[in-house]
Amino acid sequence: MTFSKLPTVLIVDDQPLNLAVMADLLEQDYLIRSADCGARALQAALVLPLPDLILLDVMMPDMDGYAVLQRLRADPLTAGIPVIFVTGMDSEQDEERGFALGAVDYITKPIRPAIVDARVRAHIALKRATDTLRRQNEGLEAEVQRRMHENQIVQDVAMRALASLAETRDNETGNHIRRTQAYVDILARTLAEASEYRALRQGDIIDILVKAAPLHDIGKVGIPDHILNKPGALSPDEWRIMQTHTVIGSDAIEHSLEGEENHAPLAFLHVAMDIAHSHHEKWDGSGYPAGLKGIEIPLAARLMAVADVFDALISERVYKRAFSHDEAARIIREGRGTHFEPNLVDAFDAQFAEFCAIANRHKEVR
């Protein structure tokens, strides 16, 4: 559908003579549309192409110009159309009322052609410039959103690739990353329903938690293969070395943040540092590396603890068989209040069926 390149002006007046005079004055430079009452004016304002400008009489029967303007401003399709009042009412109060309702100008009758021509040209030019700027801004915003989305995809893939590098060193796969991310997501969303965890509802906190989750075992890159992949039980010395993967991982992330601490887009790395360092801490303080207890353990790490342990239990390792989902759930429940935060175990119980669905959806293919 194509429209005239001439700007469209809607003239509204209940007097036919006034409509004719205004149309005769403007028709050489503008596409003229007219209405002789408020109701018809509202209909005409919605006809495509939408008017670039409305010249609106105030004193009309049934619906005066003020009421028409209020209706125009209330409709998103017509809210941005500039309206000039054309009226014989010339008191200061009348003008103030018109401007307060959103009129852009005020022309008093009897009209003077030069004044009408100048005002119409000025406001048409302003409307066209405003529309052009809006379209440019919308295009720029769309481009920014597109690039941000692309950057987000690249960043997420890079994080998964980096995390997978650590996981494959102990014969795990990228599916472990996908599963634990999904577990953390469902746990956090369930926990957020409770008032004491309402902070999880703010902004994109849960998305940040999920994005950070893959880096929980990044420190394993610093553990020797003969310890990481040992088929039997680790000796006390080997176990002490294995435990250092938490510190190795958090230190590596911390070093990557040097000089970038205040950058909001990197907030997930601060969360990732907490997860890497503390996801092996236990609710009763018997975990490692710092022996943190209760809420001393960052919430992100407490979430990761449940997700990571459940997935480790149902996965085959060089030193153990894969447990069934029910066996793993029993062990998680037995750790309520000792290994795991009680509220998180309750959230796990509430979402156990979803945990099983996630595990099946991303199961290993040997």
Distance between CA 223 and CA 236 in Å, rounded? 15
Asked whether residue 112 falls in the same domain as residue 237, the answer is: no
Model pLDDT for residues 236-245, shown as the tens digit of each residue: 999 999 999 9
Q: Considering its fold, how many domains does the chain have in total?
A: 2
Is there a domain that residue 146 lies in?
A: no
Residues of the chain with pLDDT under 70: 1-4, 151-152, 154-174, 259-265, 365-366
CA distance 137 to 364: 47
Q: Could you tell me if 59 and 189 lie in one domain?
A: no
Measured CA to CA, the distance from residue 214 to residue 342 in angstroms comes to 24
Task: Determine the pLDDT at residue 160.
Answer: 62
- Per the CB < 8 A criterion, the answer to whether 301 and 273 are in contact is no
In one-letter notation, the amino acid at residue 1 is: M
- Asked whether residue 151 is assigned to any structural domain, the reply reads no
160 within a domain of the structure (yes/no): no
For residue 149, is it within any domain?
no
239 in any annotated domain: yes
Here the CATH number for the domain that contains residue 121 is 3.40.50.2300
Q: Which of 275, 307, 281, 308 is nearest to 296 (CA)?
A: 281
- The confidence score (pLDDT) of residue 143 equals 82
Condensed to tens digits (0 to 9), the pLDDT of residues 106-138 reads 888 888 999 999 999 999 999 888 888 888 888
For residue 166, the Cα-to-chain-centroid distance in whole angstroms is 30
148 lies in a domain?
no
What is the CATH classification number for the domain harbouring 207?
1.10.3210.10
Residues 105 and 198 in one domain: no
The phi, psi pair for 282, rounded to 5°, reads -120, 150
Range of the domain at 278: 169-361
How far apart are alpha carbons 307 and 313 in whole angstroms? 10
120 and 180 inside one domain: no
Q: Please tell me whether residues 98 and 31 are part of one structural domain.
A: yes
Check: CB of residue 36 under 8 Å from CB of residue 13.
yes
Q: Is residue 154 part of a domain?
A: no
- Which of 117, 139, 161 marks a domain boundary? 139
Residue 1 lies in a domain: no
